[in-house]
Amino acid sequence: MALLRVRHVVFLSLFQVLWILPVVYAQSSISSNATRHSEEYCAMYDICGKRSDGKVLNCPFGSPSVKPSDLLSSKIQSLCPTITGNVCCTAAQFDTLRASVQQAIPFLVGCPACLRNFLNLFCELTCSPNQSLFINVTSVNKVNNNMTVGGIDFYITDAFGEGLYDSCKDVKFGTMNSRAMEFIGAGAQNFKEWFTFIGRQAAPNLPGSPYAIRFRSNATDSSEMVPMNVSTYSCGDSSLGCSCGDCPLSTVCSNTAAPVSPKKVSCAVKIGSIKAKCIDLAVAILYIVLLSVFFGWGLFHRTRKQSPASKTKPLWNNVVDDGEVQSISREKNPPMQVLEDPVHMRSGVQLSIVQGYMSKFYRGYGKWVARNPITVLGSSSAIVLLLCLGLIRFKVETRPEKLWVGPGSKAAEEKQFFDNHLAPFYRIEQLIIATMPDVKHGKAPSIVTEDNIKLLFEIQKKVDGIKANYSGSMVSLSDICMKPLDQDCASQSVIQYFKLDPENYDNYGGIEHLTYCFEHYSSADECMSAYKAPLDPSTALGGFSGKNYSEASAFLITYPVINAINKEGNETERAVAWEKAFIELAKGELLQMVQSKNLTLSFSSESSIEEELKRESTADAITILISYLVMFAYISLTLGDSPRLSSFYISSKVLLGLSGVVLVMLSVLGSVGFFSAIGVKSTLIIMEVIPFLVLAVGVDNMCILVHAVKRQPLTLPLEVRISNALVEVGPSITLASLSEVLVFAVGSFIPMPACRVFSMFAALAVLLDFLLQVTAFVALIVLDFRRTEDKRVDCFPCMKISSYSNSDKGTEERKRGLLARYMKEIHAPILSLWIVKIVVISIFVAFSLASIALCTRIQPGLEQKIVLPQDSYLQGYFNNISEYLRIGPPLYFVVKNFNYSSESRHTNQLCSISQCDSESLLNEIARASLIPESSYVAKPAASWLDDFLVWISPEAFGCCRKFTNATYCPPDDQPPCCSSSDGSCSLGGVCKDCTTCFRHSDLHNGRPSTTQFNEKLPWFLEALPSSDCAKGGHGAYTSSVELKGYESGIIQASSFRTYHTPLNKQVDYVNSMRATRELCSRISDSLKIEVFPYSVFYMFFEQYLDIWKTALMSLSIAIGAVFIVCLVITCSLWSSGIILLVLAMIVVDLMGVMAILDIQLNAVSVVNLVMAVGISVEFCVHMTHAFSVSTGDRDQRIKEALATMGASVFSGITLTKLVGVIVLCFSRTEIFVVYYFQMYLALVLLGFLHGLVFLPVVLSMFGPPSRCVLREQQQDRPSVPSQQ
């Protein structure tokens, strides 16, 4: 979106200057038929006629130079100090010279040396007493029976030409962010090209010289010609010094180091022919060290276990080494409680105080729920349904600035300051028309053809004809467009070179006129746009290299529309209404028109992205729904017993599974309802992510609870089985759920709104889910088991089957399921093999360390194409923007509290003309533009301050003028000096008595006083640019200065505009923002003036400046929260440390997968990483808890933990998520495929591998001692109830 922001603030056409300057030369060259060439002799004198277009023609007659009157002499001296004594010009000729050069003065007055050299060229041409020595009339014409000059040779030394060009070539013209040479020399690369441009004879009614001027440097001895060689001034001359920006050789720049593009330093080590990054080498060395230590420890441990001494160790040592069952004689740990087996009193579990109280609570609570299931189910459901009432106020936030920008955001504050004090950035509506690449060569042909230009006129007519209905009134483009000079829309299109009038196409010369304007857009009056400003072809064309505009393969048509601070006001809604009509027109008529010409069309409006995001929310609704339905079906089936045809309709638990899923959905709706009730808007991320998250957590808890009840002996009453099951798994479910709630609760402190709101909603949803699991779902389990015992059919509990016989009836416990048997009899024995343990540890550690190295390759950003539906019309638009755009977004350097008073140095610290500081703001920006590859600044900044100082300068005598009553007097070519009705302008009209605002003596070192600045600044900002004074500030700088309260000597806000280089990738946007902020920070510290950069995309990309900090902080807090909760509840640093290790490895490995799949780091991926911590808790906590309360050595305990908890975790999370995630790969929106399918799939697989492969191996080798305590020896059977 930010790529569209190519702003062209209208500046008055200064190109007339160059064309009028040649006129000056022609007007002043009065040739003579005489062949005398000597000192004090004229080649041309007086004016003998006019062309049909009014351009004056000099007399071609030689004559001796004449002594001017005192008045004329003083006038000549004021403009041409090198000419003294006799002259070769009349008063009329001098007035013509003065009127003509005044148009060029505003371009050059900032560099006095350049201006002096430039004036000397034309002063010598017009008035030099030795004119005949270097002027030779080569042809004459007859006009109204008078002989007039038809062409001349102007002999000038190369030294003068080079000196003139060198002094002027770097002078800036700030209004257009370009060099003055573009305007006064058509971009000449040397003095010969400049002279060629100046001497070209203009066709009738076109700007330029009325006769041909051929500049020559060599004269034959026989010709008696002596080339003009007036001394030139260097721009570095101390007496006429220019600023660093206008003259890098200036003396003030001698102590300023030339800008050097900083090289990106990346640590690398070269080993032979292989070059490796330092991080890669460090990780490899660390892995080798860890692997060596691990193998050494393993070898030592195995050798020690096999030694005879170890076989005679007492029981205490066995416990410490192998984690076997502890003796009751062992001293009790004070913070522990012993929970006895209520059935056989064989063993007890030594729990922490917290776990002990939990177990006692769950034992009594379980019996109460089993006795009152309806009460528990009704009350818990009623509370959640009450929360769901808040959905009445449900709203979705789709505004990007509200999703990704925090209220304390620096970029948001800067945008608000810019909008409130200057002007909101305009809205952009754009069309891109391009040719199709050639099939054989793959190169797109030029789009600049007659048919295509006429197509643009037809499209413009269609766009102008759009009438959008807003509240009963019709809105057209002219009602909402940006009008810099308050008349015509500033639309950017190549047909502006024809004034948007199709009749002008043939009148101006068709394609040849376009080609001419591409080269002279800044200097040709006939190339001026309809809104009276030059149009840079790079803003209206695309797909060209260098300045080969005729090779362009795309037209860029841009319509800037006025924006409003209040996004919900009438002005914005009017614009949105027109934009919708504009998009409909583009999709329909315009697309057909363009395709019929074998061209492509892409388009966008300011509101397009927001509208397409809204459409995206429904684009994949069916895909998500199918994903959920598949998970629901699987959950319903997995809770039941092993399917047997004879009893399936009784033993299945489809209704229980569906009820559990409903509870999960109720927890999500309750969370959304609660926050909606208090005014917090939801987001698309919440609706897409949280249901998956809560399903993963909730289904796992459902599986664990149901399987725990199934493991209880059937001989026990149902309420005892429910009570024992809750005692067995309640603490681990509580531990896991509280950890997850805390993980998301701390995420609510993240400044990014999307992440913060997600964390808030997720925390409450997981909490409600947990509460519903231990209340309503336990009650549903009781009802379902009662149904089974009553032989009632699943899903149809009213139907009772009398012939059903339970084959398990009378047995102590149910037969283990297939998955549980696999875990205990196949999976666990394989993991207990020593070689398998070594391989598992080696592989997992290697991948984690490799992931650490890979993490450094993750790029910040979020490609806009990924966010949008694949069938969105914006997909093609973004592709074309990257391919065709040749200029970047506008960039503003905003200055706060500019003190323009005489006592302050702020003026010289900011400006870049003569006498400004070498390290001023504008000079630093100009230096930065010399290294665009690192600064991302494309051009020097347009400076209202420079132009204002030039505008009030006495040298710019056509600009700041006043009537005798001290009111503002406009230039001579503007009303009332020039009649707007008939276009007649004369030097003797109402403005004949106007004088310059100041004399040199009125200014102090060329700077105005506080009062003068205060008085003339409003004049400048209201002054219209014109040929006589191109520096008028109206239009170009109307919104660059805030005049509110400026009378105090402080301008609260002002801006200096330039452009970024083309930004094609997300990383370019991030780096450009970082570079300009660093530049402003350095300048602010140096000048002690507050300066900040602003571009319209900064607010959306600021998050990526600190996205790594946000991600690492969020993950650290989340993992740390889990560790603290585990430590508090278990009182085991050992167990908590292992959980912490595995969680960290899962997250690091997931980030490694992101790097491999080229998934960018952004708010969506950060949310997924935080969610990964929450889901990973389920893989770790239950297994660790089951291991800690199992009996036997470590291998036996891990086998039992896998048999009990492994099956539940695998079926509850892994398989459930897999079947749901796989469906997402069919999504039409790439963001689902990348950030949900790929990342979720990676998360599920990594969680499964770490939770059911790596964690069991770690526990079997380094696990904490068992908490089971021997009470008495019995031979009857192994203990079950206290295991997990």
Of the pLDDT bands very low, low, confident and very high (cuts 50, 70, 90), residue 644 is: low
pLDDT tens readout for residues 417-449: 999 999 888 899 999 999 998 777 778 899 999
User: Quick one: which of 1153, 631, 1080 has its CA closest to 895?
Assistant: 1080
User: What length does the chain have?
Assistant: 1284
User: Quick one: which of 1036, 606, 888, 879 has its CA closest to 6?
Assistant: 888
Structure tokens at 42: 């004229």
Predicted local confidence at residue 464, as pLDDT: 93
Predicted local confidence at residue 41, as pLDDT: 92
pLDDT tens readout for residues 496-529: 999 999 999 988 889 999 988 888 787 677 888 8
Contact 109, 956 (CB under 8 A): yes
pLDDT tens readout for residues 1061-1119: 999 888 899 999 999 999 999 999 999 999 999 999 898 888 888 888 888 888 888 88
Predicted local confidence at residue 1035, as pLDDT: 84
Give the pTM: 0.77
Of the pLDDT bands very low, low, confident and very high (cuts 50, 70, 90), residue 28 is: very low
Instruction: Quickly count: other Cβ atoms within 10 Å of residue 1085's Cβ.
Output: 10
Predicted local confidence at residue 64, as pLDDT: 92
Q: Is pLDDT at 893 greater than 70 in this prediction?
A: yes
Q: Is pLDDT at 859 greater than 60 in this prediction?
A: yes
Separation between Cα atoms, residue 1253 and residue 1230, nearest integer Å: 32
pLDDT tens readout for residues 801-825: 765 555 444 444 455 667 778 888 8
Of the pLDDT bands very low, low, confident and very high (cuts 50, 70, 90), residue 757 is: confident
CA-based end-to-end distance of the chain: 54
pLDDT tens readout for residues 959-1007: 899 998 889 999 888 888 876 555 556 555 788 888 889 888 888 888 9
**C-beta contacts of 406-412 below 8 A and 24+ residues apart:** 406/751, 406/752, 406/753, 406/756, 408/751, 409/751, 409/1099, 409/1102, 410/1102, 411/1098, 411/1099, 411/1101, 411/1102, 412/1099, 412/1102
Cβ neighbours of residue 570 closer than 8 Å, sequence gap 6 or more? none
pLDDT tens readout for residues 460-490: 999 999 999 988 889 999 999 998 888 889 9
578/1209: higher pLDDT: 578
Of the pLDDT bands very low, low, confident and very high (cuts 50, 70, 90), residue 253 is: low
| E strand segments, 441-530 | 468-470, 473-475
Across 90-94, 207-211, 772-776, least confident range: 207-211
Predicted local confidence at residue 1152, as pLDDT: 94
Of the pLDDT bands very low, low, confident and very high (cuts 50, 70, 90), residue 401 is: confident
One-letter identity of residue 695 = L
Percent of the chain clearing pLDDT 90 (strictly above): 32
**If you ran DSSP here, which 8-state letter would residue 1060 be given?**
B
HSE, side-chain direction, 13 A CA sphere, residue 1196:
13
Predicted local confidence at residue 1140, as pLDDT: 92
User: Quick one: which of 305, 1265, 344 has its CA closest to 834?
Assistant: 305
Across 5-9, 83-87, 890-894, least confident range: 5-9
In DSSP notation, 420-464 reads HHT-PPPEEEEEEEEEPPPTTT-PPPP--SHHHHHHHHHHHHHHH
Predicted local confidence at residue 1094, as pLDDT: 95
Contact 15, 524 (CB under 8 A): yes
332/715: higher pLDDT: 715
Mean pLDDT, the chain, whole residue set: 81
Predicted local confidence at residue 793, as pLDDT: 81
754/553: higher pLDDT: 553
Of the pLDDT bands very low, low, confident and very high (cuts 50, 70, 90), residue 332 is: very low
Across 688-692, 1028-1032, 1127-1131, least confident range: 688-692
User: What 3-state class would DSSP assign to 969?
Assistant: strand
268/280: higher pLDDT: 280
Across 537-546, 643-652, 716-725, least confident range: 643-652
User: Average of pLDDT values for 1014-1019?
Assistant: 94
Predicted local confidence at residue 13, as pLDDT: 34
Predicted local confidence at residue 220, as pLDDT: 78
Q: What are the distances in angstroms from CA 1162 to CA 101, 487, 717, 858?
A: 57, 44, 53, 10
Contact 550, 511 (CB under 8 A): no
Of the pLDDT bands very low, low, confident and very high (cuts 50, 70, 90), residue 1221 is: confident
Separation between Cα atoms, residue 1151 and residue 1163, nearest integer Å: 14
622/182: higher pLDDT: 182
Of the pLDDT bands very low, low, confident and very high (cuts 50, 70, 90), residue 568 is: low
Q: Is pLDDT at 1167 greater than 90 in this prediction?
A: no
Burial level of 3, CB count in 10 A (0-12/13-18/19+)? buried
pLDDT tens readout for residues 285-320: 888 888 888 777 777 766 765 655 544 444 334 433
Helix axes of 684-710 and 1163-1188: crossing angle, nearest 10 degrees: 10
User: What 3-state class would DSSP assign to 215?
Assistant: strand
Q: Is pLDDT at 1252 greater than 70 in this prediction?
A: yes
Predicted local confidence at residue 547, as pLDDT: 82
Instruction: Quickly count: other Cβ atoms within 10 Å of residue 836's Cβ.
Output: 14
pLDDT tens readout for residues 69-88: 988 888 888 788 888 889 99
Of the pLDDT bands very low, low, confident and very high (cuts 50, 70, 90), residue 907 is: very high
